[in-house]
Amino acid sequence: MGRPRWLNAEEKRAWNAFLGTYELLNRRLDQQLKQDSGISHLQYVILARLSRAPDRELRMAELACAVSNSKSGLTYQIGQLERAGLVRRRACESDPRAVYAVLTDEGMALLEQAAPGHVALVRELLIDVLTPDQLHALADGLGEANRRMLATGDPATDCR
Amino acid sequence: MGRPRWLNAEEKRAWNAFLGTYELLNRRLDQQLKQDSGISHLQYVILARLSRAPDRELRMAELACAVSNSKSGLTYQIGQLERAGLVRRRACESDPRAVYAVLTDEGMALLEQAAPGHVALVRELLIDVLTPDQLHALADGLGEANRRMLATGDPATDCR
DNA sequence: GCGACTCCGTTCAAATTTGAACCTTGATCG
DNA sequence: CGATCAAGGTTCAAATTTGAACGGAGTCGC
């Protein structure tokens, strides 16, 4: 391996924009969701993921992986959501070790109430700011980066 | 305002890829930096930002803004970095309220030691995965989103 | 000079995240 | 069977983040 290949100006620009956009965006989404619906962005993502699953339920490990969260982190969040009545835990009949997180009707209702404002903000702050070409490039490029990291991921490391 | 404009398939793809990539990437960078250099990704970003500043120093508020962090969060991190000898606080002579965070020689040395591996991983996981067109689109698109959020930001809200 | 504001950075308690350790089963192999 | 190892979730303590105060100074208009 030779000398480190530093980032050139455009690469730096892209990298900094990527980091900055995420931080800013995540914070705005968090604030809006908390204010309007009393849940965090992470909780929204969890509820949304469950709502798309068959029977609106998913196993803990699978859900953790789907929202790029750790096992223990998910245990905590599901605990919060359960206390709020938005999610319910269900034991798996075939495998005693497994636990399903199930979206309740209340959870679905909250999600439907929160979604319009959330999506509108995502549009305003990111999606609608991009040109169609940029949107496409972002979907392709980041999609590929995503795929590679998932493929490379140390499987022992929580899927994270 | 009419019915909510939901995200179409490509928009969803872009949005999910964006969120997922950040989560995965940030975690990998964190692990690598902790393992190789004993600092978190956030701490790396702070040190790196300081290293680029005139006299390697920046005021707390400015630094907080530059790394998209909260004031109290930065106070904490600078405390940690100071304990480790990587950063030092300096009072401002002209304004008694102001505090400068200064990168020490040790901090600079650590940064220089950490940088090659860090940059290599950023390349491997993101930059080098993108085509030149995608890189350009990302820099432009996310740069613009970034700019707008900074412009829109409630100035009272910590600059976050 | 006074009052009303704002800015700067810190402090504090509460909420969340992290990572390792742990407890239960499954699965696999002799 | 019995041993070993991996998988699935939870628990726990420690580290970090959050957001709302707070205290001390500047600033501005009057």
Mean pLDDT value of segment A77-92: 97
Which segment of A21-35, A140-154, B72-86, B127-141 scores lowest on mean pLDDT? Answer: A140-154
At residue A10's C-alpha, the angle toward residues A5 and A11, to 5°, is 45
- Is the pLDDT reported for residue B109 higher than 70? yes
Give the gap in angstroms from C-alpha B39 to the nearest C-alpha of chain A: 18
Best mutation target among A11, A51, A148 (most B Cβ atoms within 10 Å) is: A11
Residues from chain B contacting residue A68 (CB–CB below 8 Å): 19-20, 23-24, 27
Q: Which residue has the tokens 């006299």?
A: B55
Cβ of residue B39 lies below 7 Å from strand D? no
For A75, phi then psi, to 5°, come to: -55, -45
- Is the pLDDT reported for residue B1 higher than 90? no
Give the gap in angstroms from C-alpha B158 to the nearest C-alpha of chain A: 11
Predicted local distance difference test score (pLDDT) of residue B150: 85
- How sure is the predictor about A2, in pLDDT bands with cuts at 50, 70 and 90? confident
Are A32 and A121 in contact by the 8 Å Cβ rule? The answer is: yes
pLDDT digits over A100-122, tens only? 999 999 999 999 999 999 999 99
Q: Å from A19 (CA) to C18 (C1')?
A: 21
- How sure is the predictor about B85, in pLDDT bands with cuts at 50, 70 and 90? very high
Contact partners, residue B57, CB within 8 Å, separation at least 6: B50, B90, B100, B101, B102, B103
Give the gap in angstroms from C-alpha B93 to the nearest C-alpha of chain A: 31
> B25 vs A125: CB contact, 8 Å cut-off?
no
Q: Å from A98 (CA) to C28 (C1')?
A: 20
Cβ of residue A99 lies below 7 Å from strand D? yes
Percent over 90 (pLDDT), chain B: 88
> A119 vs B7: CB contact, 8 Å cut-off?
yes
Percent over 70 (pLDDT), chain B: 95
- Is the pLDDT reported for residue B156 higher than 70? no
Are A101 and A50 in contact by the 8 Å Cβ rule? The answer is: yes
Arithmetic mean of pLDDT over chain A: 94
Chain D footprint bases within 7 A of protein beta carbons: 7-13, 16-21, 23-26
Predicted local distance difference test score (pLDDT) of residue B124: 96
Q: Which of B4, B25, B134 sits opposite A141 (nearest CB)?
A: B134
- Is the pLDDT reported for residue A156 higher than 60? no
User: Which class for B156: exposed (0-12), middle (13-18), buried (19 or more C-beta within 10 A)?
Assistant: exposed
Predicted local distance difference test score (pLDDT) of residue B65: 93
Are B58 and B101 in contact by the 8 Å Cβ rule? The answer is: yes
Residues from chain A contacting residue B147 (CB–CB below 8 Å): none
Predicted local distance difference test score (pLDDT) of residue A4: 84
